[in-house]
Structure 1
Amino acid sequence: MKQRNPVFHMKGYFFFIYFGFGGLFPLLTVYLQDEVQLSGAQIGVITSIGPIVMILIQPLWGMLSDYTKRPKLLLTVASIGAGVSGFTYLFAQEYLMFVLTASMIALFQSALIPLSDSIAMNYTKREGGDYGRIRMWGAVGFAVAVWIMGNASDLFGLEVIFYGFAVVMFAGAFFSRHMPNEAGSAVVDVRGGLKRLMKVKGFPLFLIITFLVYGPIMANNFYFGVLIQFAGGTLAGVGFAFLLAAGSEVPFMRWAGAWIQRRGILTILFAAAFISGVRWIFYSFEPDPVWIYATTIMQGFSIGLFVPAALQYVTDIAPAEVKATAVAVYAAVGNGVGAFFFSMSAGLLIDLHSILAVYLFYGIMTLSGALLLFLLAWRQPHVVKKETA
């Protein structure tokens, strides 16, 4: 029997995996705060433990993929493992059990994004196509998930998010079995590669920018639901807000490639970071839920453009023999160190003040990253204009 178009299966995989993320993580913090009644500091540890585990484990998945040359098999195993781990939240009662469960999910989750991104990126480079148009199905899944699970939580209770997470992870495992087996050609050599990358003009500064801009973006997935409820919204309202926010990413990811060619990578990155920072600052003034819903579409311009543009910038400036290492380091700084720091700090700020202080802090840090991007664009005008000539 002729296999279906591999692009269809990559789109399906991104849809279901990000459906799982969208259905669990934005509502998990609400569950831990309202149902389990953990403190902000405890919630901060649970939401930040994942990024730390990813920093330690992600390179091992990469090396295992390089060694076996079977990344899609690893994706299948990791998807099933994540689903089973998420289901164990239903049986957690003690704080340490929640920490352990979060660690187990992160163990498997650390394989999902980098391996699937690598497969999609390598496939589109070999066969032609637009990575952003495949990756945007993750944004679709995330948006639909929070809306569906937010409404389901209002009807059946927050425990439903754990059932939903397990089911869609298993669905993702099915799609991963039919994805192309695009093994990366470059070996990730973090120690030697990092030493060389630190000499690449612009790369060290961009790591700082990634920390300042992408860290709050990742942490927002955990704390945006808390903000909605603080402002007087419901669980269904949380789902509606994420539907608008994540859904707005879809068209921007679709247009990202053309806009980067027209305006240049650093120009797009600066605009995305600046708008993201303004959004966080606005939320710190405790707006009415209606205004939060209305401004969620800013996420499309910020995240929908920043994610593909940042990945392209890293792969463009890195020497060919250390491109895989550059992507691994970039992911570790953004998804790992940045997400850990801004998730942990959010929990502490909630205990000391409120969720409003969290978004004020996010805004200041993100605008600092935008300022550094302006400086980087000034220092590298050839990168700004190279695609526009």
Structure 2
Amino acid sequence: MSASDRTIQANFRLFYFLIFWALGGLSPLLSIYLKEEIRLSGSQIGTLVSIGPIVMVITQPIWGMICDWTGRARTVLVTALLATGGIGLGFLFIDEYIPLLAVAATLALFQGAIIPISDTLTVNYAMQHRLDYGSFRLWGAVGFAVAGFAMGWLAERFSLSVIFYGFALTLWLGAASARQMPGDRVSLQVDLRSGLNRLIRMPRFVLFLLATFMVFGPIFANNTYMGLLFQSSGATVAGVGLGFLLAAGSEVPFMKMAGAWIRRRGALTVTLFAAGISALRWVFYFFEPGILWLYLTSVVQGLSTGLFIPAALMYVRSLAPEEAKTTAVSLYTAAGIGLGNWFCTLMGGWILETFDIFTTYLFFGLLTGIGALILWIVLRLEERGTRGADPVKSGSTDTKKDLSQTRGKAFQ
């Protein structure tokens, strides 16, 4: 490997570390800032935070068109990073609910470009050089986990406003790193009409999308409400960061083991197991466990989220016909990371205001339990030979390649 290649690869790892540091430093503490500093109600927090996923789902295809039209994806990425960091600082100067909604929506507008464009540039480079995309993206998981602890520690010693300075600074450093990325002309367009009619006529695919909505929603909404959960059990702001470090950090080793588990048991079985673990964890939090139990059970996130995300993506790709794989993945992402995240974050805030944070997690647990039941139904359909054995279980070459590209997806 030449010195130039080593420099490029190190830059990719640095980029993901910085970008997910920004996200990991903001996510667990934003709800605490909105509650303690701005004095927003639970429903207001839920509405404000939930607006991001919907805006990103709507605007990501637009960013794809911009990249295709300009032919300068790297320049678009740098612009989005600079703009997102600057808009994030806007939270420091506004303390009214409606203007904060406008800032959150504008932030999501530009933030929605970051992950799709950077992932496309990275995957293209990895494929050209026969490298493992996961070896780059895992640094994002590291940055996300460490940032929660570091920013919690800083917020405890200074003030919660530090999370916005950290968010902007690391995104701007990420923009400097993005300028060094190789390649510029890439296509991010997805033709949602391609194969759509075939997909919606597949009962298992439709059921799996519904299950993804119910399981993924609480997983991503937890990033918003976990800080309030820990505080309600007596944790300091720094303690919230420690909990986030344990939870997010636990996903990395399980994602590394996910491939072997999927090949041995099948992707669908792994998703069912992971969903069941998630449901039990959320319901357990309803019983108001002490702070020590919260710390101990936070590492269960690796066993649930760290397995569910790669296994679910593998199942979707294996289920869809070849000409509709891209469409299937797009629908799966929109259902879980977009709509599921929006719905659970919004409802979680309403339940928080009406009842308490522990009831919010009961709602997460019941919803995830229903999702697990739907996965069980899909599994039974598989066992009856509706379409044959799960292709993922065979451990085909394409499956192994796809699996290497899913590591770190928990932190989108």
- TM, length-normalised to structure 2: 0.88
Q: From the superposition, tell whether residues 291 and 183 of structure 1 become closer, same or farther in structure 2 (CA, over 3 Å).
A: farther
- Which is worse superposed, 273-282 or 124-133? 124-133
Q: Distance in 1 between matches of 2:117 and 2:196?
A: 20
- Residue 220 in structure 1 maps to residue 222 in structure 2: yes
* Aligned pair partner of 2:83 in 65, 81, 84: 81
- Which is worse superposed, 203-212 or 5-14? 5-14
Q: Distance in 1 between matches of 2:371 and 2:96?
A: 38
Matched to 1:2, the amino acid is: S
Q: Distance in 1 between matches of 2:237 and 2:90?
A: 22
Instruction: Name 1:242's counterpart in structure 2.
Output: 244
Give CA deviations for 1:78-113 in whole Å, capped at 9, x if unaligned. 211211111111111211121111111111121222
- Residue 18 in structure 1 maps to residue 20 in structure 2: yes
Q: From the superposition, tell whether residues 306 and 115 of structure 1 become closer, same or farther in structure 2 (CA, over 3 Å).
A: farther
Q: Distance in 1 between matches of 2:181 and 2:237?
A: 35
- Residue 163 in structure 1 maps to residue 165 in structure 2: yes
Q: Distance in 1 between matches of 2:381 and 2:71?
A: 39
* Aligned pair partner of 1:346 in 348, 351, 362: 348
Give 1:352 shift.
Answer: 0.9
Give 1:30 shift.
Answer: 0.3
Instruction: Name 1:357's counterpart in structure 2.
Output: 359
Give CA deviations for 1:39-90 in whole Å, capped at 9, x if unaligned. 1111111011111111211121223334444433332222112111111111
- Which is worse superposed, 291-300 or 315-324? 315-324
Q: Distance in 2 between matches of 1:277 and 1:123?
A: 38
Matched to 2:34, the amino acid is: L
Q: From the superposition, tell whether residues 76 and 312 of structure 1 become closer, same or farther in structure 2 (CA, over 3 Å).
A: farther
After the TM superposition, which residues 373-388 of structure 1 pair with which residues of structure 2 at under 5 Å, given as runs? 373-381=375-383, 382-383=389-390, 386-387=393-394
Instruction: Name 1:204's counterpart in structure 2.
Output: 206
Give 1:200 shift.
Answer: 4.3
Give CA deviations for 1:195-240 in whole Å, capped at 9, x if unaligned. 3431346321221111001111111101000000111111011000
Q: From the superposition, tell whether residues 62 and 209 of structure 1 become closer, same or farther in structure 2 (CA, over 3 Å).
A: farther
After the TM superposition, which residues 1-389 of structure 1 pair with which residues of structure 2 at under 5 Å, given as runs? 2-181=4-183, 187-200=189-202, 202-381=204-383, 382-383=389-390, 386-387=393-394
Q: From the superposition, tell whether residues 142 and 195 of structure 1 become closer, same or farther in structure 2 (CA, over 3 Å).
A: same
- Give 5+ residue unaligned stretches, structure 2: 384-388, 397-412
Give 1:302 shift.
Answer: 1.4
Q: Secondary structure at the match of 1:324?
A: helix
- Which is worse superposed, 123-132 or 275-284? 123-132
Q: How many residues align?
A: 389
Q: Distance in 1 between matches of 2:146 and 2:51?
A: 26
Q: Distance in 1 between matches of 2:41 and 2:351?
A: 11
Matched to 1:65, the amino acid is: C
- Which is worse superposed, 174-183 or 9-18? 174-183
- Which is worse superposed, 90-99 or 284-293? 90-99
Give 1:31 shift.
Answer: 0.5
Give 1:148 shift.
Answer: 0.5
Q: Secondary structure at the match of 1:2?
A: helix
Q: Distance in 2 between matches of 1:16 and 1:57?
A: 23
Matched to 1:314, the amino acid is: V
- Give 5+ residue unaligned stretches, structure 1: none
Q: Distance in 2 between matches of 1:179 and 1:107?
A: 23
Q: Distance in 2 between matches of 1:150 and 1:141?
A: 14
Q: Secondary structure at the match of 1:202?
A: helix
Judge conservation of contact 1:260–1:387 (CA < 8 Å) in 2.
no
Give 1:273 shift.
Answer: 1.3
Give 1:289 shift.
Answer: 0.6
- Which is worse superposed, 137-146 or 108-117? 108-117
Give 1:123 shift.
Answer: 4.4
- Which is worse superposed, 342-351 or 51-60? 51-60
Q: Distance in 1 between matches of 2:257 and 2:72?
A: 31
Judge conservation of contact 1:187–1:325 (CA < 8 Å) in 2.
no
Q: Secondary structure at the match of 2:88?
A: helix
